[in-house]
Each structure stands twice: as structure tokens, then as C-alpha cells.
Amino acid sequence: MTTYTLIGPITQLIPLQKIGIKGAIKDQDLEIIENAGILIEGENIHTIGVFSDLKEKANALHAEIIELHTDYVCTPGFIDAHTHICFSGSRANDYAMRNAGRSYLEIAEAGGGIWDTVTQTRKAEQQLLADGVIKRANTLLKRGITTAEVKSGYGLSVTEELKMLRSIKTANSSTAADLVSTCLAGHILPKDFDGDHKAYLEEMSTTLFPILKEEQLTNRIDAFVEQGAFLPSDIYPYFEKAKQMGFDITVHADQFNTGGSEVAVKVGAISADHLEASTENEIQMLAQSNVISVALPGASIGLGCDFTPARKILDAGGALAIASDWNPGSAPMGDLLTQASILGTFQKLSNAEVLAGITCRAAAALNLDDRGRLDSGMLADFNLFETAHVHEIFYHQGKLLPSQVWKRGNLIMN
């Protein structure tokens, strides 16, 4: 039997119904419903409106009515569209060495870098990896992230990539958050592979891709396009094969050098993520395409590097999502709201642009159209912040956490 629940009155509800995917947004353009109510039907939103107007409808449906007695601001549940939260081990030593002025090479020679996490992750049992993902996903949920993308990429062999993706699938059924998995077998060429970059990618696409389909482990393929990882010439055939098999493409692009965003545009990727090194050329190219640009301020903060030119991307008419990149190496913090707020201060983004970047535009970066906005028929994923004005959320730079997180129509209990 479908259950109905009405919640309200909510001081300010920000539905984001009319905010487009591309371009700059002014705070004045943010729709606000005052004294709002949300009528929930099962796991979806039945109606959004003024609380007093919804009461009659709620009574007719025998809805449970939850009356709120203090100020609340309601946003859609946040979406973290880029994480690597399936891993084992710590890279605190890399962090200390980097901050002490050691080079990338020196860190790698001391046993650090991505390969260290690959080694640790390969040693971990599948269930142990799943437990780590569940724990991190539950942490995200408390901070209002109701959907998180999770990449593999620390396995780097058919068996080990499968272990990671199976553990993400297990984790997805054991947390209330929705986890969207992505295969990042194209992270780096593993040290123990007997062959070159092309041969490795060929093995992954011919052996791993069919199993991903068969076991429904993911419908997304990612690769790190960068000097020292995979060059555009290596990656085109890999992405073409993935596209032919019906996978969505996403790219780690322009983190240190350009080239990746051009690949993303040419292969018709859903998103190009990082973009710290993107120049005017790449910004224009992305803005004229349907590729969502994903800024990862957590990686800039973790590495002490420049931020993605988010302002320029928006002003050029591009689509900007913001994600945490939570991973043990470059982005260990894993706090989306803090990082998105900080990106706002450095890049002069309006609060509306930051909010869209972690809700409706982040949903677009995952090719999901059932979340990221509050509207009839959308998932009932939303956050209630105990404050009277939406500006307070970003002003507190991640310190103001939601007092209530609702996921698929259920209140998540801490």
C-alpha cells in the first residue's frame, strides 16, 4: 500500500524546477516557495506547494502530516557526481611528503601515489571494501548527499576491477544512499601488466566490458586522460568500444595538461571532470558541447593546486557541476558542501550556481533525470536545514549540516 506523508510548513523551499543545465545563474533567479509543503507518495514527490494549500489534498489521501515548528530551508538531496570511495589504506604519507616539497616522482619512489592504493585495495577482501564504501556513503548521507557516484580504478586487472565493482554493488544494497558505479579500469597502466597502454586497454575492453554488462555492474566508463596515465591516442578506441556497447562515458580531463576535454567532446561524453588546466580554448569547446563540466575543488585543496575555472565555464554558457573527488590521494577530505562553498568564494559563484552544481546539474553529470530538483514525480530526496534563509547554507561553508535528510521518502535516522 502506498503511504502518503505531508511535511511543512517549510520557511523556504528551493525546488530548482526552472533552472537550466547550462549557463550563469543569478541568486534572484532562484525560485523560492515560502511556507511550503512537500506531499510524498511512497518514494516520490506527489506535490510541492504552499503547505496550507496541500493540507486538503493530504487529508483526502489519509496522509500522515508532519508539522514543523521552527524555521527550515529545504533543498533537493545533494549529489556527489565524482568519488573514489572504494579503497583500502591511507596516503597520509604522500600528503606529508607533498607538503614538505617532495615531487610526484619522489613520492612514487617512496612507495606512494595511486599504485600504493592499488596495492592496498588488491589485498582487501571484497566484503571489507564494501564495508568501507557503506561507512563512507553513510557519512555522506548525514551531510545531505543522497546520491553518490563511486569509481573503481584501484584494481587495474579484470579480477580486481570486478572485485571493486561487485563490492560497490553490495554496498549500494546496504546503504540508504544511492550509489552510481563507474568503471575506471583506465586509471593508470598497472605496473605488473605485461604490455603497453594500448594492449592493456584492449584487454579491459574485450574481457572486462562484457562482464560489466552481464552482471549489470555499471553503465559508465571513465579514464584518466593525462601524461603519465592514458594519452588521447590510446583512449579513443577504448571509448569508442564502450560507446558501441552502450556505456556512458566520463573523463578525468585537463587536470594537469590539456587534451582530455577534447576527447570528452569528441566522444560525446556525459561529463569531463577536473579541468583545472583548461584554457579559453577548452572552456569554449566545452561550453558549446553537451558535456557537463565537473569541478573538483577537493582535489585543488588536497594538492594545493588551482581551482577549475568555474566562473569562466559558466560565463561561456557551459554546464557546471561540483563534486568532491573523495579519494585517499588527491582529495582525502570528502566534504562536498564545504568544498563547493569554498569554490564559490574563490571563483565568485552565486549561491544559486553552487546549489545547482551539487543538485540538478550534478544529476545531469550522472545522466539521471529523476532527482536533483523537487517536483511532482521526482524522487523524494531532500534536506531540511534549520535556518530561515538559503544563503545561510553556503555562508557557513559546510558547518551548517541538514537536521533532516529524506531519502526516497524516508527520514534517515542518525
Binding site for Fe ion (CB under 5 A): 325
Q: Which stretch binds ligand NIG (CB under 6 A): 66-74, 127-135, 320-328, 373-381?
A: 320-328
Minimum distance of ligand NIG from residue 325's CB (angstroms): 5
- The interface partner of residue 368, options being ligand NIG, Fe ion, none and the CB cut-off 5 to 8 Å by kind, is none
Pick 4 or 154: Cβ nearer ligand NIG = 154
- Site residues (CB under 6 A) for ligand NIG, limited to 103-142: 114, 117
String marking each residue 50-89 x if it binds ligand NIG according to CB under 6 A: ----------------------------------x-----
The beta strands (E) that lie in 324-413 are given as: 382-385, 404-407, 410-411
Pick 325 or 335: Cβ nearer Fe ion = 325
Which residue has the closest beta carbon to Fe ion? 325
Q: Centre a 10 Å sphere on the Cβ of residue 109 and count the other Cβ atoms it contains.
A: 11
Q: Is 344 helix (H, G, I), strand (E, B) or coil?
A: helix
Q: Which stretch binds ligand NIG (CB under 6 A): 127-135, 231-239, 323-331, 397-405?
A: 323-331
CA-CA distance, 49 to 35, in Å (whole number)? Answer: 9
Q: Which phi and psi (to 5°) does residue 321 adopt?
A: -105, 160
CA-CA distance, 383 to 385, in Å (whole number)? Answer: 6
Minimum distance of ligand NIG from residue 116's CB (angstroms): 8
Contact between 330 and ligand NIG per CB under 6 A: yes
Q: Centre a 10 Å sphere on the Cβ of residue 40 and count the other Cβ atoms it contains.
A: 25
Tell the residue number behind the cell numbers 539521471, with chain if given. Answer: 368
Pick 300 or 404: Cβ nearer Fe ion = 300
How many residues form the binding site for ligand NIG (CB under 6 A)? 13
Residue 218, C-beta contacts closer than 8 angstroms, at least 6 positions apart? 152, 165, 181, 182, 183, 212, 247
Minimum distance of Fe ion from residue 130's CB (angstroms): 20
Q: Centre a 10 Å sphere on the Cβ of residue 146 and count the other Cβ atoms it contains.
A: 27
Contact between 299 and ligand NIG per CB under 6 A: yes
Pick 114 or 148: Cβ nearer ligand NIG = 114
Pick 236 or 256: Cβ nearer ligand NIG = 256
Minimum distance of Fe ion from residue 308's CB (angstroms): 12
> Hey, what amino acid is at 310?
A
Contact between 382 and ligand NIG per CB under 6 A: no
Contact between 238 and ligand NIG per CB under 6 A: no
Q: Which of 324, 333, 396, 404 is nearest to 357 (CA)?
A: 324
Minimum distance of Fe ion from residue 190's CB (angstroms): 17
Pick 80 or 381: Cβ nearer ligand NIG = 80
ω into 309 cis (within 30 of 0): no
- The interface partner of residue 330, options being ligand NIG, Fe ion, none and the CB cut-off 5 to 8 Å by kind, is ligand NIG
Contact between 252 and ligand NIG per CB under 6 A: yes
Contact between 255 and ligand NIG per CB under 6 A: yes
Query: How does strand 178-186 pair with strand 145-151?
Result: parallel
- Site residues (CB under 6 A) for ligand NIG, limited to 270-289: none
- The interface partner of residue 359, options being ligand NIG, Fe ion, none and the CB cut-off 5 to 8 Å by kind, is none
Among 146, 271, 327, 383, binds ligand NIG (CB under 6 A): 327
Alpha helices in 227-373 (DSSP H): 232-244, 260-267, 280-287, 297-303, 310-315, 336-347, 351-357, 360-365
CA-CA distance, 4 to 37, in Å (whole number)? Answer: 13
- The interface partner of residue 8, options being Fe ion, ligand NIG, none and the CB cut-off 5 to 8 Å by kind, is none
By CB atoms closer than 10 A (0-12, 13-18, 19+), residue 115 is middle
> Following DSSP, what letter does each residue of 145-179 receive, concatenated?
EEEEEEE--S--SHHHHHHHHHHHHHHHTTSSSEE
Supply 118's cell numbers.
Answer: 592499488
Q: Tell me the CA distances in angstroms from 274 to 246, 329, 355, 394, one per residue in order.
A: 24, 15, 18, 22
Q: Which stretch binds ligand NIG (CB under 6 A): 63-71, 230-238, 326-334, 367-375?
A: 326-334
CA-CA distance, 382 to 15, in Å (whole number)? Answer: 10
Contact between 293 and ligand NIG per CB under 6 A: no
Among 325, 335, 353, 381, binds ligand NIG (CB under 6 A): 325
Minimum distance of Fe ion from residue 274's CB (angstroms): 7
On whether the CB atoms of residues 297 and 343 are closer than 8 A, the answer is: yes
- Write out the residues near ligand NIG by the rule CB under 6 A: 84, 114, 117, 224, 252, 255, 299, 325, 327-331
